[in-house]
A = this chain, B = another copy of it.
Amino acid sequence: MSVKPAEQVFSREQFDGILRRRFFYAPSFDLYGGVSGLYDYGPAGCSLQANIIDLWKRHFILEEDMLEVDCTALTPHEVLKTSGHVDKFADWMCRDLKTGEIFRADHLVEEVLEARLKGDKEARGIAHEPIEESEDKKKRKKKVKEIKAIKLEDSVVQEYETVLAKIDGYSGLELGDIIKKYEIGNPATGGPLEPPIEFNLMFETSIGPSGQLRGFLRPETAQGQFLNFNKLLDCNNNKMPFASASVGKSFRNEISPRAGLLRVREFLMAEIEHFVDPKDKSHPRFHEVKDIKIRALPKDVQAAGSTDLTEITLGDAVSTGMIDNETLGYFVGRIYLFMCKIGMDESRMRFRQHMANEMAHYASDCWDCELQSSYGWVECVGCADRSAYDLSVHSARTNQKLVVREALEEPIVVNEFEVDIDKKKFGPRYRRDAGKVEQWLLNRTQCEREDLAAELAKNGKIVAKIPDVAEPVEIESSLVNIEKRERKEHVREYVPNVIEPSFGIGRILYSLLEHSFWNRPEDADRSVLSFVPRIAPSKVLVVPLSSNAQFTPLVTQLTRELRKAHISAKVDDSSASIGKRYARNDEMGTPFGITIDFQTVSDGTVTIRERDTTEQRRGTIPDVIAAVRAMVFEGATWDEGTAKLAKFEGQEA
C-alpha cells in the first residue's frame, strides 16, 4: 500500500522538525537547558510506544504463555555485585585534563578514524552515499569539527577499516594502544587525552534513612526475573521449559550520550528470560521459523575485518552451527517476525553475532538484531544465551537452590564423595563461624573433596583458609568425614540455562520513525510517517469540511461510534484547509482520515482517505467504521478493507 519511494535522501532537518512539531519526543528539562541522554515522550510518542508494547506483549507473552513480572529498579549493591555488574558493567573513558571533557574511548576512536577515512575519500575525489553524508554532517557538527581532505597511505586505510570492523571487541588496554598509535586526541582541539579508564555505568544511590544500604538503579530488568525463579517455576506447575518476561525502565549512566533516542540514560526495556534444560535446547516450534531468511553477520566474518552480510535461513544457520541452538534460533526468528509486524523495513535489518571478546560478562553466545538508520547500524535487540551464569552466582552467594528437579524414569547410580558433618560439635567448636565453615565444606567440588579426603586421612585434620573467616581454620576428623559412596538418584537436579531476548523499546521506536519517514515526491515539503495501522499513534483523523454548525452533531456522533469500536481518533476542526489538515496529519502518521461534508448531512455518507496513496472511498458511517476495524485490528489491506465502499475522486484543496 505504501507509495514511499525506494531511494530518498534523508533530511534530518525535516525529520527532526516533525518530531518536534508533533511532539513525539523532546529533550527532558529543556526549559532548564536539558540533560543529555534524557528524553520525554509527548502524546504521539507515548501512544506509539504503548502500541509497540501492546503488540510486543501479544506477540511474545500471550503467544507463548510467558509469566510476566514487574520488579523494582532500585537494587541493593549485593545483588549487582553478585551478578558481576559492579565489577564489569563499565565502559572506557578518556579525559582531556585541559578542557575537562570526557569521551567514551571506543566512540572516540570510531569517530576520529571515520572522519579521517572521509577526508581520505575527499582527497581521492570519491563521493559518499547520501545517508552516510548526513551521518557525516551530524558527527562533524558534534565532535570532529572539521574533516580535512588528507590522503592516507593505502595500508593505513586498510588498518583503519580493520580497527573499525572490530571496534566493539577491544579491551581498554587495546583502545589505549590504538589511541596512542594513531595519535587520536580531543577531536575539537587536537589536545592530548589521558589513557582510558573504566567508568561503571550504573547510577548509585542509597536506600533508607541510615545511608548505609548502597543501591543502584538496575541496568537491565533481568536480575529481578532470575531472583524470582523459584516462584515462577512454581507458578508454572514446575514444568520446563518456560519463560518470564518484563517491561520496565532501566538506567545506564552513559558517558557522553548523543544520537538522540539511540543512546539514553533512562530507557524502556522489554526482556524475556526463557529457562531451558542445558541438555536440550531444541524448540518445539522451531519448524515455524526455520524457513525465514535473515541477513547475518557472524563473528568469524567480523574477526576477519569484514562486514559483509550472509543471507541464510534459520534452519541452515542452526544446522551449520552458526547459531548455537534451536531455541536461540527460534527467538531470532520471532524477533524478525515482530519487527516486520510493527512495520520495520526489513532491508535495513541484520543479525550480528557478538565477537568472543565483546560479549557481556554473563553471555555464552549472543546475536543482536541491528537496525540501520542515519546513525548507522545500531543494536536494538540482543538475543543472548546467558547459560547458567546468573542463577548459579545468585545461588552460590545466597546458599539457596535455584534448580529444576525432574523425576527420572530410570534411577541412575552415582559414585560421589560425600561430606558428613557432625553438627553438634560444629557450633561449640567454631561459634559464629560454624555456618561459614559448614557451607565451605559442602560447596567443594568432587575434585576438591577427593583432595580433602586424602588430607584428612593423612593428617587427621584439614587446614583451610575460609572466606570471611580471619584465621585459617582447622577441622579435625572427629568433626567431619569425607568419603566416596554409591547412591541411586531418582531425581535429576539441574540449573537451567537462560536464553534472553532483550528489546530496547526506545531504539526500536526511533528506528521505526526513520524507517517510516519519507517525503511526497510531488512535494518535498510534505512529509509522511507511514506507520502500519496497528502501530500508528492515532488511527483516524475526523475532519469536518468547515466550521459549519451542521457538522458539529455529526462529528460528535462519529467520534462516539469510533470510541465504541475501540478506534482511537482525533478531531481537527481548525479553520485550516482540508489539504493542510491532512498534511499535518500525515506527519503524525495517522493512517485514515474521515471527512464530514454537506453530503454527509443529506445522506449520512462520509469519505475515508488513505494516508500514503491519498486515495479516497465513500460509504455510510457504519460501513466506514467496519472498514477501519478490519484494517486496524485484522490486518486487512486498503483494498480488502474498503471493498464494500465506493471509489471517490476527492479534492485535497
Contact = CB atoms under 8 A, between A and B. Distances in A.
Given A28-B72, A46-B69, A35 B213 contact: yes
Interface stretch (A202-210, A298-306, A308-316, A471-479): A202-210
Contacts of A102: 209-210
A450 interface: no
A234 interface: yes
A62 B205 contact: no
A265 B207 CA distance: 9
Contacts of A30: 227
Nearest to A399: B31
A431 B68 CA distance: 60
Given A76-B35, A203-B205, A209-B93, A71 B28 contact: yes
Given A205-B205, A231-B23, A400-B31, A224 B40 contact: yes
B93 A69 contact: no
A78 B67 CA distance: 40
Contacts of A255: 208-209
Contacts of A434: none
A639 interface: no
A59 to B, nearest CB: 12
B40 A209 contact: no
B31 A398 contact: yes
A326 B134 CA distance: 54
A231 B40 CA distance: 11
Given A31-B227, A79-B32, A266 B73 contact: yes
What number of copies of this chain does the assembly contain? 2
Contact of A62 (B36, B40, B45, B568): B568
Contacts of A41: 69-71
Contact of A204 (B38, B205, B249): B205
B23 A43 contact: no
A43 B62 CA distance: 12
A89 interface: no
A255 B70 CA distance: 23
A26 interface: yes
Contacts of A419: none
Contacts of A49: 70
B43 A235 contact: yes
A223 to B, nearest CB: 9
A39 interface: yes
Contacts of A31: 227, 394, 398, 400
Most B CB within 10 A of own CB, among A29, A204, A394: A29
Contacts of A186: none
B72 A266 contact: yes
A43 B72 contact: no
A47 interface: yes
B42 A235 contact: yes
A227 B76 contact: no
A232 interface: yes
Interface string A362-389: 0000000000000000000000000000
Nearest to A207: B35
A251 interface: yes
Nearest to A572: B237
A199 B253 CA distance: 26
A577 interface: no
Interface residues of A, number: 70
Interface in A48-85: 49, 62, 67-76, 78-79
A234 B23 contact: yes
A40 B208 contact: no
A210 B71 contact: no
A253 B23 contact: no
Contacts of A26: 228, 231
A36 B210 CA distance: 13
Contacts of A234: 23
A479 to B, nearest CB: 28
A68 B93 contact: no
A17 to B, nearest CB: 14
Interface string A279-295: 00000000000000000
Most B CB within 10 A of own CB, among A199, A210, A248: A210
A190 interface: no
A217 interface: yes
B32 A398 contact: yes
A22 to B, nearest CB: 8
A467 interface: no
Contacts of A40: 69-72, 224, 227-228
Nearest to A25: B70
A29 B574 contact: no
Contacts of A38: 72, 74
Interface string A5-20: 0000000000000000
A276 to B, nearest CB: 19
Most B CB within 10 A of own CB, among A45, A234, A235: A235
23 contacts: A23-B231, A23-B232, A26-B228, A26-B231, A28-B71, A30-B227, A31-B400, A32-B76, A32-B78, A32-B397, A40-B69, A40-B70, A40-B227, A42-B69, A45-B70, A47-B68, A49-B70, A74-B203, A100-B210, A199-B209, A203-B206, A205-B217, A207-B265
Given A30-B227, A74-B265, 4 more contacts: A31-B394, A73-B249, A209-B255, A249-B249
Interface of A: 23, 26, 28-32, 35-36, 38-43, 45-47, 49, 62, 67-76, 78-79, 93, 100, 102, 199, 203-210, 213, 215, 217, 224, 227-228, 231-232, 234-235, 237, 248-249, 251, 253, 255-256, 265-266, 394, 397-398, 400, 563, 568, 574
The 8 closest A-B pairs by CB, nearest first: A41-B70, A40-B71, A46-B68, A43-B67, A203-B205, A38-B72, A205-B205, A72-B266
